Structure 1
Amino acid sequence: MDTADETARIRAVLRDQGDAERAEYERRYLKSDLVHYGVPVRVVRETCRSSARTRDEVLALADSLWDVTEDGRPVHETRMAAIEVLVRGTRLLEPADLAAAERLIRDSASWVYVDGLAEKVAGRLVLRFPPLAATLDAWSADPYMWIRRSALLALLPGVRTGSPDLERVSRYGDALIEERDFFIRKALGWVLRELSKKDPAWVGSWLAPRTSRVSGVTFREAVRHLPAETAEPLATAYRSRGAGRGRR
């Protein structure tokens, strides 16, 4: 595969499939300064289907697509394509390639790029190579909010496959439970929500002593799938927490 040729092919297909009205809607919804063609995610995925086949090709094509610019600005669809290439090629990647996902996360400023990289690339790598979880420990305390969010979301593959890292769910939860940023609160809630589908007792036990500290965003997600006999006492405790704290 010639990286430059494949990048040009993917870019041309995406541009040709674009819709100006959809592009404007996406720009506004994502509050984005990037160039948007207005292409559905389904089309991005189909366009990347026959791309990179080896580890080196995956990494090179992802970098090339991510770095595409138009009028001096990155292109949303080619960045989404870069993520898709990495997701499709995760089985080919090695432990050192977690750095590639981290580089792109640090170059992102939106959930629309961060979440796929965190869960479907970083998280799957950590699941395949457990020692990489030490990197998530560093991420959970990183100054960059999107890296902290990624530390949480990277735990999701383990949760979904029935092999959750409960120690890290608890530790990251305690470290981030009082974060003010919405995206951190939401991510913690998502992890607890997904875990509750498989282990509601653990989630209920973890939340019970923390109802005075947890944000409303996190709490609502965490209890969404809990059985009533578990959720109702937690909700009562959450509602009756100290006066004057207000809704968070």
Structure 2
Amino acid sequence: MEIEFKSMNVYLLPLQKLFQQHADAVKAAGAKKYMLNRFVFYGIVMAVCRKLSKDFIKSNSLTSVAEVEKIAKQAWQLPEREWQYFAIELLSHYKNQWTISTIKTIEYCIVHKSWWDTVDAIADACAGEYFKLFPQQVNAVTGAWNASENMWLQRSSLLFQKKYKAKTDTRLLAAYIQHLSSSKEFFIRKAIGWILREYAKTNADWVKHFVETNQHLSALSRREALKHFP
């Protein structure tokens, strides 16, 4: 069981009041059910949650990336799911100040309170951006993720390139997909199809050829990959 912080960082107290003011018990119950009762919620719709978070971050600047990462990890340990969404916004806002060690915080967020909503958001806003800043880290870090036994790290190794378009490393992508293609996990099979479908928007011929020559891909992965093909 994860240990929750019993006292909130003073930086977060004003945001806690904002979250409480916008809380909706009915929406919170619906969100909890949608997430299979894995998390509790304030019940703030995502668009409002993001605006509250972004406005708060802009109005309450932090002086160091170490402080950013510390507060992000503390927010991650708070019970309401909106705090994890806030932590992703906080990390992303300060990406120009990230150091090579920021990947430790990103990994922490991937492997704690893991579910598709946060893991996929981290892939977009944090992991993908981190490897643009520190390309020398790509092979070692994402290779370890792909080879790990943690499904969410594996999924992240596939999805971090989702927005890379023409800059996608297809050699790496192919190797990572092939290594995980025998996985029985729904979230891995879905991610394989999803990343291929996204890359098809940039290079449809490559994706079509890859799917045709990798017959061991699951039906779900193949279906997702070719979803927008004639």
> Above 0.5 in TM-score?
yes
Equivalent position to 1:55, from 45, 49, 65: 65
Alpha-carbon deviations, 1:88-139, whole Å to 9, x = none? 2223212210110101111123111111112320111012211111200010
2:5 corresponds to: none
1:130 corresponds to: 135
CA distance in 1, matches of 2:154, 2:212: 24
Pairs within 5 Å for 1:76-155 = 76-133=81-138, 134-155=140-161
2:210 corresponds to: 206
Equivalent position to 2:175, from 171, 177, 201: 171
By how many angstroms is 1:86 displaced? Answer: 1.3
Structure 1 residue runs of 4 or more that deviate by more than 3 Å after TM superposition = 51-54
1:156 corresponds to: 162
By how many angstroms is 1:154 displaced? Answer: 1.0
Q: Which moved more, 1:51-60 or 1:150-159?
A: 51-60
1:225 corresponds to: 228
| Amino acid in the other structure paired with 1:128 | L
1:232 corresponds to: none
Q: Which moved more, 1:177-186 or 1:54-63?
A: 54-63
Q: Is the 8 A contact 2:145 2:153 kept in 1?
A: yes
**Greater radius of gyration (CA):** 1
By how many angstroms is 1:152 displaced? Answer: 0.7
Q: What residue ranges of structure 2 are gaps of 5+ in the alignment? A: 1-7
Q: Is the 8 A contact 2:143 2:157 kept in 1?
A: yes
Equivalent position to 2:49, from 32, 38, 44: 44
2:191 corresponds to: 187
By how many angstroms is 1:206 displaced? Answer: 0.9
Q: What residue ranges of structure 1 are gaps of 5+ in the alignment? A: 69-73, 229-248
CA distance in 2, matches of 1:87, 1:178: 33
Q: Is the 8 A contact 1:120 1:157 kept in 2?
A: no
By how many angstroms is 1:62 displaced? Answer: 0.9
Q: Which moved more, 1:88-97 or 1:186-195?
A: 88-97
Give the TM-score, by structure 2 length: 0.88
Q: Is the 8 A contact 1:114 1:146 kept in 2?
A: yes
CA distance in 2, matches of 1:62, 1:109: 15
By how many angstroms is 1:205 displaced? Answer: 1.2
| Amino acid in the other structure paired with 2:10 | D
Q: Is the 8 A contact 1:101 1:118 kept in 2?
A: no
Q: Is the 8 A contact 1:52 1:58 kept in 2?
A: no
Cα pair distance change 1:96/1:157, threshold 3 Å: farther
Alpha-carbon deviations, 1:200-244, whole Å to 9, x = none? 111111111113x11122111111233x3xxxxxxxxxxxxxxxx
Local SS of the residue matching 1:205: helix
CA distance in 2, matches of 1:130, 1:205: 27
Computed over aligned residues only, the root mean square deviation of the Cα atoms, in angstroms, reads 1.6
Local SS of the residue matching 2:201: helix
Q: Is the 8 A contact 1:119 1:150 kept in 2?
A: no
1:241 corresponds to: none
Give the TM-score, by structure 1 length: 0.82
Percent of aligned pairs with the same amino acid: 28
